[in-house]
Amino acid sequence: MESIKELRKICQESRLWADTLHGRYICRPLSIYITRLVLFTSLTANHVTMIFFAAGVIASILFLSGSIGLNFLASLILQLWYLLDHVDGEVARYRNTTSLVGIFMDEMVHYIVHPLIFICIGIGQFLVNQNVIFIMLSIPASLAMILIPLVQVMREKVFQKNEPINNSKTESIVKQTSYGVRLFSILHSSCTFSIVMDIITIFSIVSLLAKYNLLPFILWYYAIVGTGIWVMKVIVIVMTGNKK
């Protein structure tokens, strides 16, 4: 078996460009050790993806309790979930078994777990507080976790394939609203799931220490800001896209 340094070259270097900051500086330094253990077994990359999926579902189920302690445990499992998200790709690259089926499975896990987390947080808060507003908030928050990346996928599928976005018009809008664009960029970044996951973890830790549940604030934030982000993305694409 190769050394950790050699495994990093084989399994990680080709994907570092696509990593989030959390992925590059937290997950990659740790994931290679898990990958090395997996490589001593008969587990395939797809098997790891299924374990990765199970971890996301378990975290979601724990959020259903609504209790501060189990929310904290769920947030830690969510961190493990994201760590395993890096392991399946590393195993595939080492064994040269990267496939479209594997990529499809990985993407499907994200599209299932991201909204499921918010649905379960909403139900958990409803059960604790007996206030239906939390379920109502969980619906737009969970939809935002699907629609924000989906809008980007559809943009690439429709415009970049057939009629590219009018870049000159886009640049003009950016220059005219530079402060707005910067604010939008910050809010958009807060809706990427690696940051969502870290915010949930931080709020869970603070809730445990303060003995006061802060997760309802996350539901409010992503119900409002998440919805605003995907709606604005659609508006910008419509405004800057070429007409047929």
Residue 175 has pLDDT above 60, yes or no: no
- Residue 159: predicted pLDDT: 76
| pTM of the full structure | 0.88
Place of tokens 């760590």: 83
- Residue 177: predicted pLDDT: 58
- Residue 165: predicted pLDDT: 44
Q: What domains are defined for the chain?
A: 4-240 (1.20.120.1760)
Residue 237 has pLDDT above 50, yes or no: yes
Report residue 242's pLDDT band, with 50, 70 and 90 as the boundaries.
low
Q: Buried b / exposed e across 203-226, counting CB within 10 Å, b at 16+?
A: bbeebbeeeebbbbebbebbbeeb
Arithmetic mean of pLDDT over the chain: 90
- Residue 52: predicted pLDDT: 94
Residue 176 has pLDDT above 70, yes or no: no
- pLDDT tens sequence across 185-205: 899 999 999 999 999 999 999
Identity of the amino acid at 25: Y
- Residue 162: predicted pLDDT: 54
Identify the weakest region by mean pLDDT among 13-17, 167-171, 215-219, 231-235: 167-171
The mean pLDDT value for 159-181 works out to: 56
- pLDDT tens sequence across 21-62: 899 999 999 999 999 999 999 999 999 999 999 999 999 999
